[in-house]
Structure 1
Amino acid sequence: MSVTQEEDDPFPVDVSLFTDTFCQETVYRLVGQELKIRQVFGANLGVAAPVWDAALFLCHYLGEQSVELSGKRVIELGAGTGVVGILAARLGAVVTLTDLPSVLPQLADNVSANIPSVGWPTAHPTILPLAWGQDHQNFPSEWDLVLCADIIYLPETYPLLLQSLTHLCKSGALVYLSSKMRKEHKTHDFFEEFLQSRFHVELVNCDHGQNIHIYKASLRKDL
């Protein structure tokens, strides 16, 4: 079965990644939490299916740096499997997980599979659709943290992502972006040109072996 996309769709599905649909469940032990994550590999989800290394790197960073999550209002963009946001919720954050509509069933399954035995510390994670540059006006701006893991890979979406981040951070949210730095996707351009045009940007961690960087950003007030 083929998957068709509108020519002007800024979020294309790469149908060549997975010709057959199959599921894989993996247990991750992160920051003292055990998470069971289901990945649905298939053309419908494309790059949203896997747990990417940049997501795990961000999870470890949040724990190692003791980033305060308890009671914080957190939104994750391009959540995919939800591993980052689910971890934040298990650690006490009030979390909203967002992605394109086709990804939401995978997110819902993983949230359900990781309900703590004593219940969520603060609140059950919320799952909502958000296409960058299109839906962000439906969301408030009163967040503490915006989390992003390996979502910087389509240059045509960079202006759209910047629009959404600007809206979500109007009240002072900090953004943590973990990304594999792909030359072929001009990942550096997003951080050095697009993001710095509106945000103060700081490189806070990197894994040279995996070529993964974590940036912390806050909206500039001098614009």
Structure 2
Amino acid sequence: MNSSGDEDDPFPVDDCLFSETFSQETVYNLMGEELRIRQVFSANLGVAAPVWEAALHLCRYLEDQSVELKGRRIIELGAGTGVVGILAARLGADVTLTDLPLALPQLQANVSGNMPSSGWPSASPTVLPLSWGEDHLKFPSDWDLVLCADIIYLPETYPLLVETLVHLCKKETMVYLSSKMRKEHRTPYFYEEYLPSRFNVELVHRDVKQNNHIYKATLRAES
């Protein structure tokens, strides 16, 4: 999702940020899988272009905690390059990757480029547009896991994201959110106020050096 911050914003939308479009491919070895992720840097893609450190933190956390992915129905929000969801699909999950429409070509290219030589162990990952609070009702509400990596940085989207998460989750659904805790973007406020309004929220991992937190959330029972 695009930002509208000022010059101090780490996510500027000034066209000069990526005045020339270029791409690079990076190899990541995660959970025994080798992923080749292409990042297309351009003024249009903006924050959807890079692999953010929070995504790699989330992949490592899922491995460290031996979170079962095989056979699970997973949706990733704000997938960007798709590294988290593609990894889950390589490990046997049934994955749907979502982002804004402008990010989908890069996302689909990375899905196609990372299909195992023997084919996907479960279903081929699905890539779909999803604008929070707008078209979330087109999606089912029966996911096992919802994965979110570095998508908490625009305060105006926070209520829309919570609304979307509520729709996607059944009571057994586990949401994992990995975020760089940017005070200037009120990221801590999302986890302290917005998300707890509808979810049980637990801080499960903290990386002090990278200022990255991972939270686990489950839908609160209706009172």
Q: Write the distance in 1 (CA, Å) between the matches of 2:120 and 2:174.
A: 23
Q: Is the 8 Å Cα contact of residues 143 and 171 (structure 1) preserved in structure 2?
A: no
What do you get for the CA RMSD once the two structures are aligned?
1.4
Q: Write the distance in 1 (CA, Å) between the matches of 2:68 and 2:159.
A: 29
The runs of 5 or more residues in structure 1 that have no matched partner are 6-11
Q: Write the distance in 2 (CA, Å) between the matches of 1:115 and 1:20.
A: 29
1:89 maps to what in 2?
A: 89
Q: Write the distance in 1 (CA, Å) between the matches of 2:118 and 2:14.
A: 40
2:184 maps to what in 1?
A: 184
Pair 1:174 & 2:174 matched: yes
Q: Is the 8 Å Cα contact of residues 179 and 213 (structure 2) preserved in structure 1?
A: yes
Q: Deviations over 1:123-166 (max 9, x none)?
A: 10000000000011000000000000000000000000000000
Give the % identical residues. Answer: 71
How many residues are matched? 213
1:63 maps to what in 2?
A: 63
The code of the aligned residue for 2:121 comes to: P
How far residue 117 of structure 1 moved from its aligned partner, in angstroms, is 1.1
Pair 1:136 & 2:136 matched: yes
How far residue 222 of structure 1 moved from its aligned partner, in angstroms, is 3.8
For 1:1-223, list aligned pairs within 5 A: 14-16=13-15, 17-223=17-223
Runs of 4+ with >2 A deviation:
none
Q: Write the distance in 1 (CA, Å) between the matches of 2:44 and 2:154.
A: 18
Compute the TM-score of the two structures, normalised by the length of structure 2. Answer: 0.93
How far residue 170 of structure 1 moved from its aligned partner, in angstroms, is 2.9
How far residue 15 of structure 1 moved from its aligned partner, in angstroms, is 3.3
Q: Write the distance in 2 (CA, Å) between the matches of 1:139 and 1:155.
A: 23
2:8 maps to what in 1?
A: none
How far residue 20 of structure 1 moved from its aligned partner, in angstroms, is 1.6
Compute the TM-score of the two structures, normalised by the length of structure 1. Answer: 0.93
Q: Is the 8 Å Cα contact of residues 152 and 190 (structure 1) preserved in structure 2?
A: yes
Q: Write the distance in 2 (CA, Å) between the matches of 1:171 and 1:115.
A: 32
